[in-house]
Amino acid sequence: MNKTELIDHIASQADISKAAAGRALDAVIGGVTTTLKKGGTVTLVGFGTFAVGKRTARAGRNPRTGETIKIKAAKVPKFRPGKALKDALN
pLDDT in tens, 19-62: 999 999 999 999 999 999 999 999 999 999 999 999 999 999 99
Q: Is the dihedral of CA 41, 42, 48, 50 positive or negative?
A: negative
Which residue segment(s) compose the domain that 85 sits in? 40-90
Tell me, yes or no, whether 57 and 77 share the same domain: yes
Tell me, yes or no, whether 46 and 83 share the same domain: yes
Q: How far are the Cα atoms of 39, 56, 57, 66 from residue 36, in angstroms, in the given order?
A: 5, 18, 20, 35
Overall domain count for the chain: 2
Q: With 0.95 as the threshold, say if the pTM is over it.
A: no
Tell me, yes or no, whether 55 and 28 share the same domain: no
